[in-house]
């Protein structure tokens, strides 16, 4: 997964561990699906399976929020959806600006998963005058000159950067100066920000490189074992035991 993380050391926001916060959206997604199927209650075991985590971990995560379960029964789905939403701050609207309306920015602008969680696109911004005024996902692209005004007028506190790497720091600085305090950065650069500003990064290239590392390692082990062990058909190894392993694979959130 993708993501890197900002430098947030022992902050332990209001007692909720960072690792737990990162999983809450996962639980919320699973719970929302259950809610849509009108399932009234769910056990930690079931929900954990749906979210792809260990049930003990899930229970401990929920315990940070409070005692919302009923022993012998499980958790009330609707209630939990509400509690987690509230904890994550999703009961309110978060105006967001996207800066850099190239391929990626346009894809994000049209992404439905945005609005469905209370993230409202306040504006799409680009420095290219050719793009100014053009409609993307129904919204007109605004010129970068208007950035400060847009952020201030709309009380935007979250900014998404999808400009080329070279422009990212400058855009970031302007966003922060205008009042943005949370940034989601897709440009492959390290952003420097003042204290109090959160930055999370998504870097596709890094994700692929991590996969490549493990891929290479797998190939290496294969080779090794086929040298040590009697030469089994390589093809069989490639197809290696494909059991529907219950390995709940969680992605990427590393402390920085």
Binding positions for NAD(+) are: 100-105
Q: How many CB atoms lie within 10 A of CB 106?
A: 20
Determine which residue in the list 4, 99, 141, 163 makes contact with its own copies, applying CB under 8 A.
4
Binding to ligand NAD (CB under 6 A) within 83-122 occurs at 99-105, 107-108, 110-111, 113
Q: Which stretch binds its own copies (CB under 8 A): 1-9, 124-132, 138-146, 226-234?
A: 1-9
* Contact present, 172 and 186 (Cβ < 8 Å): no
Least distance CB 251 / DNA (angstroms)? 11
Give the CA-trace dihedral at 179, 109, 31, 182, to 10 degrees: -20
**Cα 201 vs. chain centroid, distance in angstroms?**
9
User: Which of the listed partners (ligand NAD, its own copies, DNA, none) does 60 bind, with a CB threshold of 5 to 8 Å by partner kind?
Assistant: DNA
**Between 53 and 81, CB nearer to DNA:** 53
**Minimum distance from CB of 252 to its own copies (Å)?**
2
Q: Does 124 bind its own copies (CB under 8 A)?
A: no
Name the DSSP letter for residue 216: H
Euclidean distance between CA atoms 115 and 97, whole angstroms = 13
Contact 183, 161 (CB under 8 A): yes
Distance of CA 69 to the CA centre of its chain: 26
Residues that bind DNA (CB under 7 A): 7, 9-10, 12, 17-20, 43-45, 53-57, 59-60, 62-63, 67-75, 254-256
């Amino acid at each position: 997964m993708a993501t890197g993380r900002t430098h947030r050391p022992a902050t332990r926001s209001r007692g909720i561990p960072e690792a737990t916060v990162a999983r809450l959206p996962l639980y919320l997604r699973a719970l929302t699906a259950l809610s849509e199927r009108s399932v009234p209650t769910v056990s930690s075991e079931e929900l954990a399976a749906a979210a792809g985590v260990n049930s003990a971990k899930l229970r401990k995560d929920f315990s940070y929020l409070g005692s919302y379960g009923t022993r012998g029964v499980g958790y009330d789905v609707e209630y939990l959806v509400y509690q987690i939403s509230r904890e994550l701050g999703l009961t309110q609207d978060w105006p967001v600006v996207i800066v850099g309306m190239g391929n990626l920015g346009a894809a994000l602008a049209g992404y439905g998963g945005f609005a469905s969680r209370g993230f409202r696109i306040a504006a799409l911004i680009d420095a290219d005058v050719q793009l100014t005024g053009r409609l993307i996902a129904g919204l007109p692209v605004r010129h970068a000159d208007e950035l400060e005004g847009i952020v201030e007028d709309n009380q935007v506190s979250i900014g998404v950067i999808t400009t080329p790497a070279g422009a990212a720091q400058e855009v970031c600085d302007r966003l922060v100066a205008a009042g943005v305090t949370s940034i989601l950065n897709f440009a492959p650069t390290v952003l420097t920000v003042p204290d109090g500003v959160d930055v999370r990064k998504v870097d596709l290239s890094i994700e692929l490189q991590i996969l490549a590392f493990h891929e290479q390692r797998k190939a290496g082990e294969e080779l090794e074992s086929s040298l040590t062990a009697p030469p089994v058909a390589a093809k069989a190894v490639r197809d290696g035991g494909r059991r529907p392993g219950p390995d709940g694979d969680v992605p990427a959130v590393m402390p920085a």
